[in-house]
Amino acid sequence: MAKILEKKLLREPDVFYFKLAAPLISKKAQPGQFVIVRLHDRGERIPLSLADIDPRDGTISLIVMAVGKTTAEMSVMKAGADVLDLCGPLGTPTHIENHGKVILVGGGFGIAPLYPIARAFKGVGNEVFAIMGARSKDLLIYEKEMAGVCDRVIVTTDDGSKGMKGLVTQALQQELEQGGVGLVMTVGPAIMMKAVSEATRPFGIKTLVSLNPIMIDGTGMCGGCRVRVGDQVKFACVDGPDFDGHQVDFDDLMSRLRRYAREERAAAERWSEGCRMKDLADPADPAVELLELPDPFEEVKGG
Ligand SMILES: Cc1cc2nc3c(=O)[nH]c(=O)nc-3n(C[C@H](O)[C@H](O)[C@H](O)COP(=O)(O)OP(=O)(O)OC[C@H]3O[C@@H](n4cnc5c(N)ncnc54)[C@H](O)[C@@H]3O)c2cc1C
Ligand code: FES
């Protein structure tokens, strides 16, 4: 059981910040690792990256984007509520060493896990640049936090509403052409990580990507998170999540991410239908408390 100590809406309407009491995890966790969360005894297990770790006050921070049933359920939890299980720290920490100049490229919720990674690279003497991309300025998160731990932050927006107009790869290309880059690391949507890896390939610059395949146990036993890296099959939960971006088969990763789309859609629809039923019911009616949210998988069994 882990108590939610703080919750904030980070970005309208669907990105939330949570600070949780996790004294044991915070003592061991390192940048690049993640936890697996189960909200309640009927809940599924979902992996979430550590957006911050504070062993002094025994807390960890998570940034959650509500994209489906479980993340939507978490987004309505309030400070003071308990998360049933928090398993971690999981995964291999990001390898931190001095490369001279490091460029971190983040998109979507991927910017959040880059925050402790940026601090760690800075801590061993690197010059750290961050390139943060979003479709428009309202969709950016963690800009101030990243500016606090990086030497320079470059913002790109697809519509030009903030920073440079265009994609993160355009800003990256300009930086690469100036030379002197020892490492590029990227966290975000698979398609963005693929494009970043292709941008660095001609320059021969080592490029780390933090992969986000479907994970179930997170301990190397179920095989759900397998990814193709070079001529090998790796389990992202134990061998990663960081891998050499020039070796990753992104097309295989993206097709595996789409595999459960139908079931995920059905689960989200049933959950929001359950919420609507609760909203419509008379709150004074004692039966409301007993109104169970439906089994998210019932509809798709045998399908
Ligand atoms: C190592 C790792 C770190 C992650 N860190 C974060 C984070 O910090 N913040 C954040 O908001 N999200 C993070 N994710 C993604 C997050 O786990 C999924 O968004 C979440 O599981 C979606 O569940 P859902 O029921 O809300 O949505 P669903 O409708 O079930 O799924 C929506 C999409 O999320 C992905 N997804 C679903 N289930 C899983 C799963 N078990 N494992 C991985 N991906 C899944 C799929 O691409 C799917 O299309 C991370 C994923 C991985 C693997
Ligand atoms: S999540 Fe099961 S092996 Fe990685």
CB within 8 A of 195, min separation 6: which ones?
A: 167, 168, 169
What b/e string do you get for 190-202 counting C-beta neighbours within 10 Å, with b at 16 or more? bebbbbbbebbee
Q: How confident is the model at residue 282 (pLDDT cuts 50, 70, 90)?
A: low
Which of 33, 222, 257, 259 to mutate for ligand 2's pocket (most ligand atoms within 8 Å of CB)? 222
Q: Which CA distances in Å does 55 have to 26, 51, 88?
A: 5, 13, 14
Q: How far is the CA of 124 from the centre of ligand 2 (A)?
A: 31
Neighbours of 182 (CB within 10 A): 15
> Do the beta carbons of residue 79 and residue 143 sit within 8 Å?
no
Instruction: Round the CA-based radius of gyration of the chain to a whole number and report it.
Output: 20
Report the nearest atom of ligand 2 relative to the CA of 47: 1
CB within 8 A of 11, min separation 6: which ones?
A: 138, 139, 140, 141
> Do the beta carbons of residue 266 and residue 296 sit within 8 Å?
yes
Q: How far is the CA of 66 from the centre of ligand 1 (A)?
A: 9
Q: How confident is the model at residue 296 (pLDDT cuts 50, 70, 90)?
A: very low
**3-state secondary structure (DSSP) of residue 71:** helix
- Positive/negative CA dihedral, 68, 73, 74, 75: positive
* Mean predicted confidence (pLDDT) in 261-273: 69
Q: How far is the CA of 158 from the centre of ligand 2 (A)?
A: 34
* Mean predicted confidence (pLDDT) in 282-293: 49
Q: Which residue has the tokens 């610059």?
A: 205
> Do the beta carbons of residue 181 and residue 103 sit within 8 Å?
yes
Strand 34-38 relative to strand 85-90, pairing: antiparallel
Q: What is the DSSP string of 3-40?
A: EEEEEEEEETTTEEEEEEE-HHHHHH--TT-EEEEE-S
Q: How confident is the model at residue 301 (pLDDT cuts 50, 70, 90)?
A: very low
Is any ligand 1 atom within 6 A of the Cβ of residue 215? yes
Paired strand residues for 4: 20
| Average of per-residue pLDDT values in the chain | 88
Give the binding-site residues of ligand 2, using a 6 Å CB cut-off. Answer: 215-218, 220-225, 235, 237
> Do the beta carbons of residue 61 and residue 51 sit within 8 Å?
yes
pTM: 0.87
Q: How confident is the model at residue 293 (pLDDT cuts 50, 70, 90)?
A: very low
* Phi/psi-derived region of residue 97, left when phi > 0, alpha when psi is between -120 and 50, beta in every other case: beta
Strand 183-187 relative to strand 101-107, pairing: parallel
pLDDT in tens, 101-146: 999 999 877 888 999 999 999 999 999 999 999 888 888 888 899 9
Neighbours of 220 (CB within 10 A): 13
Residue 202 preceded by cis peptide, ω within 30: no
Is any ligand 1 atom within 6 A of the Cβ of residue 65? yes
Q: What is the pLDDT of residue 284?
A: 57
Residue of the CA atom closest to atom 10 of ligand 1: 64
**Residue 252 scores a pLDDT above 70:** yes
Tokens matching residue 68: 């489906």
